[in-house]
Chain A
Amino acid sequence: MDQFESYINKWKAQKSDVQEVDLQKIKSQAQDRLSRHNRKLIISNLWMSIAFAGVFITIGLIWSYFPDRTIHFYAGMFTMLVLLFVFALTQWASVHYKRINPEAEPVRYIKYSLKKLVLNKWILQYGLPIYMVLLGFAFILYFQDIMIGASLQFMIIGYSVTLGYIFLMAILSLKKTKRKIEKINEMISYLKDWENILNQET
C-alpha cells in the first residue's frame, strides 16, 4: 500500500460527528430563503414598472395635449421617451431572470451573474453619465419650443434651474454610485474567487 492510499484509508475511516438535522427544519429554512428571494425580485420589478409607466403616461399626455408645437418640442419629448425606454431596458436587463441553482450549477451561475454584474457596473459607470447628458440635451430641445417669446431673464432662469438640477442630481448621486460600484466590484471578485477555487489552472 503506498503512502497516499494509507491517507485515503485514514481519511475515509472518519466517523461523522454531526448532530442529526430535523427534515422539517431544513424544509422550512429552504422555503424561507426561496420566498425571500422571489419576493425581493417581484417587489423591485413592480416598483420599477409602476414608475416607468407613470412617466410614459405623463409624457404621452403632454404630447397629445399640444398637437401644434414646433419640431423642437416633439424632438425633446421623443428623446426623453427613448432615454427612458433605454434606461428601463437596461434596468430589466440587469435583473437575474434565470433560476440557476448556484451550488448545483456553479460555473453557469457564476458566468451568468458575472455578465449581469458587469452590465450593471457599465450602466453605473458610463450609462448614467451619458443618460444625464442626453437628458439635459432633451430638455434644451424642449425649452427651445416652450420658451419662444420668453424674456432673456426667464430663459436664463429656466435653463439654469433645469440644467443645474440635473447637474446637482448627478453630483449628489456620485457618492451613492461609487458605493454601488464598490459593492459590485466586491461581488465580482467574490464570484471570480469562487470560480478560481473550482477551476484553478495549472
Chain B
Amino acid sequence: MGLSEKELLFQQLIADSKGSIYRVCLSYLHDKDDVQDLYQEILIALWQAMDRFQGKSSWNTYIYRIAINVAIKFKMNQKKINADPLTEYHLEAIEEKQDNKEAELQQLNACIHRLEDADRILISLVLEDLSYKEIAEILCTDTNNIGVRISRIKKKLSKLMEEHYGSI
C-alpha cells in the first residue's frame, strides 16, 4: 500500500468509524480529556496496524478490535490513579434530570460504567448492534461463549437501569 493510498484509506476509515471509535472510548472512560487522549491513541494504533490488515475480517471489525484493545490497555494503565468513575452523587445528579433525553443517555452510560471492564467492553459492542459473530471476531473468541455472556450482561444492565432509574 503506497503512502498516499494509505492516507486516503485512513481518512476514509476514520470518517466512517469516527462515531464507533468515540463510543468505544465513552464506554470505557468518563473524563472528556481522557476520551480525547484515548481517541488519539486508537488512531495511532490504527495507522500502525493498517499495513497488517489481511482482509480476513471487515475493516469495521478490524477497527473495533484495535479500538477495544487500545482502550483495555489505556484503562489498565490508568487504573492505579483513577478513582471510581461513578459516585452515588453522580447517579443522583443524573436522576434529577430524568426527563431530558441527554440525561437518559447519561443514565445508560452511568450504568455501563458500573459494569466490570470485560462486561463493559462487551456491552459496548452489543450496543453498536454488531452480530455475535462480529463480536466474537473482535474479541478473538468463539460465538457460543459470547452468546451466553451477552445475555447475562444484558440482564445485569437492565437490572442496574431498573434499580437506579426505573426503565427508560
A interface vs B, CB < 8 Å?
3-4, 6-8, 10-19, 21, 23, 26-27, 29-30, 33-34, 101-107, 190, 193-194, 196-202
Cα–Cα, bound, A34→B44 (Å): 11
Is B82 an interface residue when CB atoms closer than 8 A count as contact? no
- A197 in contact with B118 (CB, 8 Å): yes
Contact of B39 among A7, A21, A27, A34 (CB under 8 A): A21
What is B's interface to A at a CB cutoff of 8 Å?
7, 10-11, 18-19, 21-23, 25-26, 32, 35-36, 39-40, 43-45, 47-49, 52-53, 62, 65-66, 68-70, 72-73, 76, 101, 104-105, 108, 117-118, 121, 126-129, 139-141, 145, 148-149, 152, 154, 157-158, 167-168
Least distance between B51 CB and chain A CB atoms (Å): 9
- Chain B residues with CB below 8 A from A23, complex form: 7, 10-11
Q: A17-B32, A26-B44, A199-B140 are in contact. Are A194 and B19 (CB under 8 A)?
A: no
With both beta carbons as reference points, the residue of chain B lying nearest to A200 in the complex is identified as B118
In the complex, what distance in Å separates the CA atom of A10 from the CA atom of B104?
Answer: 8
Which residues of chain B have C-beta atoms less than 8 A from A33's C-beta?
A: 44, 48
Please indicate the chain A residues that have their CB under 8 angstroms from the CB of B21 in the complex: 16
Contact B72 A194 (CB under 8 A): yes
A25 to chain B, nearest CB (A): 8
- Whether B141 contacts A199 by the Cβ 8 Å rule is yes
Known: A17-B22, A107-B140. A3 touches B69 (CB 8 A): no
Contact A8 B76 (CB under 8 A): no
A30 touching B149 in the complex, CB below 8 Å, given contacts A17-B32, A19-B36, A106-B140: no
